[in-house]
Amino acid sequence: MVQLVRKSIIALAFLLPGSVLGQTPGTSSPLVIKADAPDRYVVVRGDTLWGISQRYTDSPWRWPELWNMNREQIRNPHLIYPGYVILLDREKGRLAIVAPGTEGTPGRGADPGTAPGTSAGVPAGTVKLAPRVRAESLARQEIPSIPPAAIEPFLSRPLVVEPDGLEKAPTIVATQADRVVLAAGNSAYVRGLGKATDETWYVYRKGVPLVDPDTNKTLGYEAVYLGTAQLTRPGEPATVVLTSAVQEVEAGDKLVAAGRPQPVNYVPHAPSTKIRGRVIAIYGGVAQVGEAGPQSVISINRGKADGIEVGHVLALYNRGGTVRDVTKRRGAADAQIQLPDERAGLAFVFRVFDRISYALVMQVTRPVSPLDVVQTP
């Protein structure tokens, strides 16, 4: 069995009410532990890093402060597993994560004020803990950052294509018995697979343009997922069989090699630069819907080129509209008032393209609509 060595205790610096902790750049207030935060919590299957953090603070996106992490640690966060115990020492204002079977063992863990492997000085009143290692199976399922089921379809399938991005993709050129449309179980003939060895393919059609609401430029096109096909005979044309279909498949539709979903286990954190963008579309499942609530997926008009990365948390704002000042004479030059944007929630970025990103809505206090604002919290 493959074994993995991990620390058994990770000690973390927290802030109790009234205390002061160094703030993340761009934040305006110190981080405060909730008054009803549990002194002891056992991690269970189904927990998320976001949810665990939210048990202790109203700002779960300020994860680096909770976990005393630097930028490199954010990219490769410590993993937590079901059965681990979270202990809050209210007198010292400190949180520790303890592996099963090690609870109450003194002198076992890592100094919360230093990065792993360093030997920096320990603040007064802090007990310096020595590291301890234990072996665990790699098969054990770690706690994810955010609910994986809500975003899985958006991880494994390409969602955005350049204007000509599907033009050179393998194409269905003929159908079984000249059928106009294909369903699961039907065969199709594909040109352009060449010597491809992939057995499973996604079937796509170019969808609606994704237009930047600020510049009115087309950033790309939605890739409309139609179903899954299995390669049964290579060649030119090759033969594929549709193994699933969520929409009717036709000649002219395109194939893209299926990729494995990549787990999103990045620690929630705020962008280090000022980001301001807009919501392009909102999805229920994968279809577009009118308003976003918790666990909805949104696309935004900012991406890798704008400094967006996986794990970024963005604040959602309803755009302030224009209303008439009823104290002014109707038609007066100053009778119109521009209302301010109103804070509506938080979203976690989980997939990034060059100019477009997808985010999961984590919290909302009011419905979010297309054209609403996203920005650095």
Structure tokens at 239: 């033969």
Q: What does the longest C-alpha to C-alpha distance in the chain come to? A: 80
The rounded distance, in Å, linking the Cα atoms of 23 and 140 is: 34
Q: Cα dist. 306→106, 164, 277, 302 in Å? A: 47, 22, 10, 6
pLDDT at 1: 38
The rounded distance, in Å, linking the Cα atoms of 99 and 101 is: 6
Length of the chain: 377
Q: Cα dist. 153→2, 128, 224 in Å? A: 30, 45, 12
Query: Considering only CA atoms, which of 316, 312, 307 is closest in space to residue 278?
Result: 316
Residue-wise pLDDT for 41-99, tens only, equals 999 998 888 888 888 888 888 766 766 666 666 666 666 889 988 888 777 656 677 87
Q: What number of other Cβ atoms are within 10 A of residue 336's Cβ?
A: 11
What is the CB-side half-sphere exposure of residue 364 using CA atoms within 13 A? Answer: 17
Q: Across the 377 residues of the chain, what is the mean pLDDT of every consecutive 10-residue run?
A: 37 39 51 85 89 84 68 66 84 71 52 36 40 45 83 76 80 88 91 85 88 90 89 92 90 86 76 93 72 88 94 92 78 78 93 92 91 94
pLDDT at 347: 95
Out of 3.50.30.50, 2.40.10.410, 3.40.50.2000, 3.30.70.3040, the CATH code matching 276-375 is 2.40.10.410
The rounded distance, in Å, linking the Cα atoms of 131 and 160 is: 45
In the chain, where the domains are located = 1-143, 151-257, 276-375
Query: Considering only CA atoms, which of 259, 253, 221 is closest in space to residue 240?
Result: 253
Query: Considering only CA atoms, which of 167, 172, 168, 263 is closest in space to residue 206?
Result: 167
Residue 114: DSSP 8-state: S
Q: Cα dist. 192→144, 157, 160, 168 in Å? A: 38, 20, 21, 8
pLDDT at 94: 63
pLDDT at 265: 75
